[in-house]
Amino acid sequence: MPARNRQASGTLEWIVFLSCAAISLVLLLTSPKPGVRELKETATDVVGYAASPLHIVRRLFSIWSDYDILQQHAVALSKENAKLRDAALENERLRALLGLRERSNISTISASVISAVGPALGGQFRIDMGRSAGVPLHAAVITPQGLVGKTVEVTDHTALIQTLVGNSYGVAVMLERTRMRGILRWTGPDRYTLTGLPQGVDIKSGDLVLTSGAGSVFPKGLRVGVITDAPSVISIYGESWLVQPFVDLRTVEDVFVVTDTGWPDEYAGQNDVPIGGDQ
């Protein structure tokens, strides 16, 4: 290349370079101005559209870190969910307990189950309230759903509850619809039988079974269960029916011990006139 041409080419290169540098600097200094911002936005749109297929590549690069993050979130959310679910159940239970306390006129002491003897069957529970809290022996124990059992042993700070399970006693009950009285007993795992009813009595599946109040332990009108649709069994003792209790004894956590039924105890005998006594 002749020297003159080379010099011209060198000059052109410098001119182009200085022009590019100058334009860049001008743009740099005027970047915040609206016109330049619009230009930038347009360029972003155009090149961004061309680069859009790369989102797949970008996703591939970030997929593992996203997975880790999501997994951590899932674990945290799962823990939180379990905690909230527990809180919701506790809330529901406490609301029900509060509701029961408000709508019944019987005096109760609330207690929590601290241990269960034979939990598979739900035979006995120990609660965290005892004599010092005013829990009496042979007191009815209930939940908002219905009857649980009665206290059979009371210490200063705990009490043992015996449920119907084990058939150590029967509960005097009545049918809400017909007011017919009978005895409810445990006759096997998940099997509660209403006996002592005359043959051919008017009983329907779904009839509500309540405590009758006959006997000094269970106050009248506590919900116990419903008559199931299983056919009745006729024996020499009469007709018996299967009852589905309202309380699932395997899930009991909080209970009420009935300390005062609100009515005079007909069996207490305090005001009875002694036979043959002088008054």
Partner 1 sequence: MSVKALVTALSLLVLQAGIGPLLTIGNARPSFLLPFIVYVGMQYGSLWGTATGFILGLAIDALGSLPLGMSGFAFSITGFFSARIAEGAPFRLWWPWTVLVFLFGLLLEVLRMLLLARANELPFLSLLLWSGVPSALWTTGLAVLWFLSPLHKRDNASR
Where along the sequence are the contacts to partner 1 (CB under 8 A)?
9, 12-13, 16-17, 20-21, 23-29, 31-32, 36, 39-40, 43-44, 47-48, 50-51, 54-55, 57-58, 61-62
Nearer to partner 1, 54 or 234 (CB): 54
Q: What is the rounded distance in angstroms from the CA atom of residue 78 to the CA atom of residue 84?
A: 10
Nearer Cβ to partner 1 (52/270): 52
Q: Which of 126, 125, 192 is nearest to 163 (CA)?
A: 125
Question: Per-residue DSSP letters for 82-101?
Answer: HHHHHHHHHHHHHHHHHHHH
Closer Cβ to partner 1, 11 or 115, answer by number: 11
The least CB distance from residue 33 to partner 1, in Å, is 10
Residue type, 21: A
E-assigned strand segments in the chain: 107-117, 124-127, 140-142, 147-154, 159-163, 171-175, 181-188, 191-197, 208-211, 223-227, 233-235, 238-245, 254-260
CB of 31 to partner 1, least distance (A): 4
Whole-number Å distance between alpha carbons of 137 and 217: 10
Please give the angle made by the CA atoms of 124, 190 and 154, to the nearest 5 degrees.
Answer: 15
Please state the closest distance from residue 88 (CB atom) to partner 1, in A: 42
- For partner 1, the closer CB: 16 or 89: 16
Name which of 1 and 120 has its Cβ closer to partner 1. 1
Instruction: Quote the least distance from Cβ 119 to partner 1, whole Å.
Output: 56
**Token output for 89:** 């159940």
Specify the residue, 20 or 77, whose C-beta has the smaller distance to partner 1: 20
Q: In the bound complex, what is the minimum distance in angstroms from residue 145's beta carbon to partner 1?
A: 58
Q: Tell me how far, at minimum, the Cβ of 48 lies from partner 1, in Å.
A: 7
Report the SS3 class of residue 19: helix
